[in-house]
Each structure stands twice: as structure tokens, then as C-alpha cells.
């Protein structure tokens, strides 16, 4: 490192996708308040996640990362958190069984509030407005006044994240995540629907395995690993005033840790080598995600990996590829080769959402389930060819029965989209599509196990 890194070093770098706050005094007051509040996550938890991701890197575990595109202040409720958590747990059980490996579970939750946008302005009902940038920055209501960035929103995002985390910690450790409960939810979801018949068989195999273990004396009453789960949080570290204010020194090592979430990631639009986001993320000890889209040059990626993970630590860096089902075959092999040639240690994770967004025939931003699945399948195939481990998936999903992505067993079509299209930003998989995707990925994992 040329100069000593400080949590404020990003301030002299080029900032992308960040708001320019009008009232600097108000901004400073908010930042000072955040600085005096407790961090949301603790260094020991962050280290545990890094160790878990190191297992993914070496092919001994699988990563499931999922949740909202953008969390919202208005939609915040315990039920919403519970439902999303429940679907993630169901998916994890199915993936654990298919892959015969533990699944590292990370929510896009308790902090996923800031959004990069492709344009600074948007036209709503004929009116040109500054773009909505996520509830931590401005308000989604379509008036110029509501779209002005307001620093006070950072305090609300902190409070909501802390309440969400409190509930998630209770759910993961307090009996709610007991494997027998989670499995009975999987079974329930696979009954009834015609298309689920095939998945019911896999769910029944899980029942048999659990019954066998119970007969052998291992059950959730006597085994913590069947009654509790480790659940981590993550978000895009976009709003650096907020990230800096929650950065803390780890009392054990004296090193800086982002206190806003266990893992933070750098978006595809903010990964400039000399930019502010790379500068902030390189200095904190947390596991870092890096979104890799079609515009990323393989040599540039190698350089980014060296900056973000100079000690080549396993579990530190997760490359989240998001090329689109029609572009993955062109781009992924190239970056895998570049990373392998440079002997860099990374987790490979597939985001099959962000490269597959289209406009429906009736004007909705949507994602076809078939394209999402195609990208995941190509991801597995390409890694198999290159001899690398397809470490995980990163999905935008919700526990609610929304109609935002087309396709899936319930065959949502363009005309169904308007009935429950609730997202504040990108289209999410609903509960049934998420579970269906998990079953299909479990099949990929099973064949990986059988071929190894
Ligand atoms: C996101 O994950 O919500 C996102 C904006 O992704 P990307 O940076 O890959 O476009
Ligand atoms: Co998104």
C-alpha cells in the first residue's frame, strides 16, 4: 500500500453513484451520531464468515446468498423478514442434501438499502425526476422534493438494520431454524402443485435421511448443528459516508472492520480500480464481494483481486459473476483462466439475476426464470470444464408470493406481472420460484458430487 489506509481514504478518490448532500452540517451531524452507535456486526462473526467462505473456496461448502434487491422502510415488518429467512433456510436444506456439503447462508438483508442506477434521472408520468437511489438515500415518491438526498435516512436505515439483525439472530439461534421444522416446510411446499411431484421425491429422501439420523440418536434435541444455523448479512457498500461511520477497530487484532454487515460487496458500476469504493473495501477485514459483469477485462480483474486481497487469503474475496445467460459462455472462461494463471484464491459465485433483466411485452422490468436457470447451468458447466469449484449462487428473492419474474412452475406470464408487482427496484424470485431454483441447483450439485 502506497499510503497508510484510513477509513476516510476513499474521500480523495473518484466517487461514483454517490449522492451529493446539500446540507453538509446535517450530514456531519448524522455521521457523528452513527460513529457513536454500536456496530451492527462484530469482528469475531466477520472472521467466522471468512473461515466459512474459505471452505467454499476449497470446495468443502456451498454459498447461498439471497434477499431483496432493495430493502424498504415502508415494507419493513417481522413477517417479511421471517418469510424471506424461511425460504432461504428451505433452499439451504435442499442444497445441502444435493451437494452433500454444508451451505453458508448470507442474506441480502439488514443493510441492503443503497442502489446504483443506470441513469441519474428517470421520467415518471412525463416528469423528469432525479433517480430513486434506495431508501437510505432518497424517497421513492415521484416528486422532486422527495428525491433530494437526505442524510437523516442513514439513521433510519441503521435502526431498521439493527432491528432486522436482532430478529434474524433470534430466528437462527432460538429454535425457529430447527431442521425438522424447516424440512416440514419443504415437504409442504412440494405437495399439491403438479410440477412439484419430481421435487417431492427429493424431499422424501431428505425425510428418510433425517429419520435415519434420529434412529441413530442424532436429532435437534441433542445436536446444535440440527437446531441452529449461522446466518450472515451482506449488502452493497455503496454509500461510503455510512460505511465509514460504522467502521470500527477490531479489539483483538487492531484492524478495521466494516460494522454495517458481515460481508460487503462492490457493485458492477463502482469497481473502478482508482475509485472510492475499491479504496474503502480494500482496507476493511470483512469478506468482500466483487460483482463481475461483461465490461470487466480479465487483466483488470486480476489487478482488482491483488488490490482487494493482497495476501491472497482464502475466503476474503468472492467474485460474483453476472453476465447474463447469453454472455456467460463468452466471458466466464476468460476470467477463470486469468484468475487461475495468477494463482489467485477466490470464491466463485453466480448471480443469475442482473444480466437477465428484460422489459416485458407490457412494460414491466422482469426476468424470465428459464434464463436465470440457464445462466446457473452454464456456470456449473464452465467451472466443471475449467476445473474450478462453482461455489455458490446470489439471488434476488423474497418470501412473498409476488409476480415479478416470469416462468417457474406456476408459469407466471407477462399478463400476470401487474397483479403483485411490489419491488422498489429489480424483479425478485417469489417463494415458489426460489425453492424451485434450489431444487434445480441441487440436481447440478448432485451430478458434480457423482462426477468427482
Ligand atoms: C445488485 O446486486 O442489486 C446490483 C445492482 O448488482 P450489479 O452491481 O451486479 O448490477
Ligand atoms: Co438488483
Q: How far is the CA of 265 from the centre of ligand 1 (A)?
A: 9
With respect to residue 133, please indicate whether it lies within any of the assigned structural domains: no
Q: Please report the atom of ligand 1 found closest to the CA of residue 269.
A: 8
277 closest CA partner among 19, 22, 72, 13: 13
Q: Please report the atom of ligand 1 found closest to the CA of residue 112.
A: 3
Burial 105-135 (b: 16+ CB within 10 A, else e): bbbbbbbbbbbbeeeeeeeeeeeebbbbbbb
Closest ligand (CA of 394): 1
Give the total number of structural domains in the chain: 1
With respect to residue 411, please indicate whether it lies within any of the assigned structural domains: yes
With respect to residue 98, please indicate whether it lies within any of the assigned structural domains: yes
With respect to residue 294, please indicate whether it lies within any of the assigned structural domains: yes
Q: Which residues line ligand 1 (CB under 6 A)?
A: 69, 116, 236, 267-269, 291, 293, 322, 354
Q: What is the pLDDT of residue 189?
A: 87
- For 334, the domain range is 9-20+42-112+152-177+228-451
Question: What CATH number did the domain enclosing 356 receive?
Answer: 3.20.20.70
- Indicate the Cα dihedral angle 430, 431, 437, 440, nearest 10°: -150
270 closest CA partner among 290, 299, 294: 290
Q: How far is the CA of 276 from the centre of ligand 1 (A)?
A: 17
Q: What is the pLDDT of residue 192?
A: 75
Q: Please report the atom of ligand 1 found closest to the CA of residue 426.
A: 3
With respect to residue 140, please indicate whether it lies within any of the assigned structural domains: no
Q: Please report the atom of ligand 1 found closest to the CA of residue 70.
A: 3
With respect to residue 138, please indicate whether it lies within any of the assigned structural domains: no
Please, are residues 172 and 232 in contact by the beta-carbon 8 Å criterion? Answer: no
> How far separated are the first and last CA of the chain, in Å rounded?
40
Q: How far is the CA of 224 from the centre of ligand 2 (A)?
A: 34
Q: Name the residue with the closest Cα to ligand 1, atom 3.
A: 69
Q: Look-up: residue for cell 412525463?
A: 126
Q: Name the residue with the closest Cα to ligand 1, atom 1.
A: 69
With respect to residue 403, please indicate whether it lies within any of the assigned structural domains: yes
Q: For the full predicted model, state whether its pTM sits above 0.95.
A: yes
With respect to residue 122, please indicate whether it lies within any of the assigned structural domains: no
186 closest CA partner among 155, 164, 207, 158: 207
Please, are residues 260 and 242 in contact by the beta-carbon 8 Å criterion? Answer: yes
Cα 138 from chain centroid (whole Å) = 22
Q: How far is the CA of 241 from the centre of ligand 1 (A)?
A: 20
Mean pLDDT by 10 residues, the chain (452 residues): 86 97 97 98 98 98 97 96 96 95 98 96 94 97 97 98 98 92 88 82 91 93 92 98 98 96 98 98 98 98 98 98 98 98 98 97 96 98 97 97 94 95 94 96 91 80
Q: How far is the CA of 213 from the centre of ligand 1 (A)?
A: 41
Amino acid at each position: 500500500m502506497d499510503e497508510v489506509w484510513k477509513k476516510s481514504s476513499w474521500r480523495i478518490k473518484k466517487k461514483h453513484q454517490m449522492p451529493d448532500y446539500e446540507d453538509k452540517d446535517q450530514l456531519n451531524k448524522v455521521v457523528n451520531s452513527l460513529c457513536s452507535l454500536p456496530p451492527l456486526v462484530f469482528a469475531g462473526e466477520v472472521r467466522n464468515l471468512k473461515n466459512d467462505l474459505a471452505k467454499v473456496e476449497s470446495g468443502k461448502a456451498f454459498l447461498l446468498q439471497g434477499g431483496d434487491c432493495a430493502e424498504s422502510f415502508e415494507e419493513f415488518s417481522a413477517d417479511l423478514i421471517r418469510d424471506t429467512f424461511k425460504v432461504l433456510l428451505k433452499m439451504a436444506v435442499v442444497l445441502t442434501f444435493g451437494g452433500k456439503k454444508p451451505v453458508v447462508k448470507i442474506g441480502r438483508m439488514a443493510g441492503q438499502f443503497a442502489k446504483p442506477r443506470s441513469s441519474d434521472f428517470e421520467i415518471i408520468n412525463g416528469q423528469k425526476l432525479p433517480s430513486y437511489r434506495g431508501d437510505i438515500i432518497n424517497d421513492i415518491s415521484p416528486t422532486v422534493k422527495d428525491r433530494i438526498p437526505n442524510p437523516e435516512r442513514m439513521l433510519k436505515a441503521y435502526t431498521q438494520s439493527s432491528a432486522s439483525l436482532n430478529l434474524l439472530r433470534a430466528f437462527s439461534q432460538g429454535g425457529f431454524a430447527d431442521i425438522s421444522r424447516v424440512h416440514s416446510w419443504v415437504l409442504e411446499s412440494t405437495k399439491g402443485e403438479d410440477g412439484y411431484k419430481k421435487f417431492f421425491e427429493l424431499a422424501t429422501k431428505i425425510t428418510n435421511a433425517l429419520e435415519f439420523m434420529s434412529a441413530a440418536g442424532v436429532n435437534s434435541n441433542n445436536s446444535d448443528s440440527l437446531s441452529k444455523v449461522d446466518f450472515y448479512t451482506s449488502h452493497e457498500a455503496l454509500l461510503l459516508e455510512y460505511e465509514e461511520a460504522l467502521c470500527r477497530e477490531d479489539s483483538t487484532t487492531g484492524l478495521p472492520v466494516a460494522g454495517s454487515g458481515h460481508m460487503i460487496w462492490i457493485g458492477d458500476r463502482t469497481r473502478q480500480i482508482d475509485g472510492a469504493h475499491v479504496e474503502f473495501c480494500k482496507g476493511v477485514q470483512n469478506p468482500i464481494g466483487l460483482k463481475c459483469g461483461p465490461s470487466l477485462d480479465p487483466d483488470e480483474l486480476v489487478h482488482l483481486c491483488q488490490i482487494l486481497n493482497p495476501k491472497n487469503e482464502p475466503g476474503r474475496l468472492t467474485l460474483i459473476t453476472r453476465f447474463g445467460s447469453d454472455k456467460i459462455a463468452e466471458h466466464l472462461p476468460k476470467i477463470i483462466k486469468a484468475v487461475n494463471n495468477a494463482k489467485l484464491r477466490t470464491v466463485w459465485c453466480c448471480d443469475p439475476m442482473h444480466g437477465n433483466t428484460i422489459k416485458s411485452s407490457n412494460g414491466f422490468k422482469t426476468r424470465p426464470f428459464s434464463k436465470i436457470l440457464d445462466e446457473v447451468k452454464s456456470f456449473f458447466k464452465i467451472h466443471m470444464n475449467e476445473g474450478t469449484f462453482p461455489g455458490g449462487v446470489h439471488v434476488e428473492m423474497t418470501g412473498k408470493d409476488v409476480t415479478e419474474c416470469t416462468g417457474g412452475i406456476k408459469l407466471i406470464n407477462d399478463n400476470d406481472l401487474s397483479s403483485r408487482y411490489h419491488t422498489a427496484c429489480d424483479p425478485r424470485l417469489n417463494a415458489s420460484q426460489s425453492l424451485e431454483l434450489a431444487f434445480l441447483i441441487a440436481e447440478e450439485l448432485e451430478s458434480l458430487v457423482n462426477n468427482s
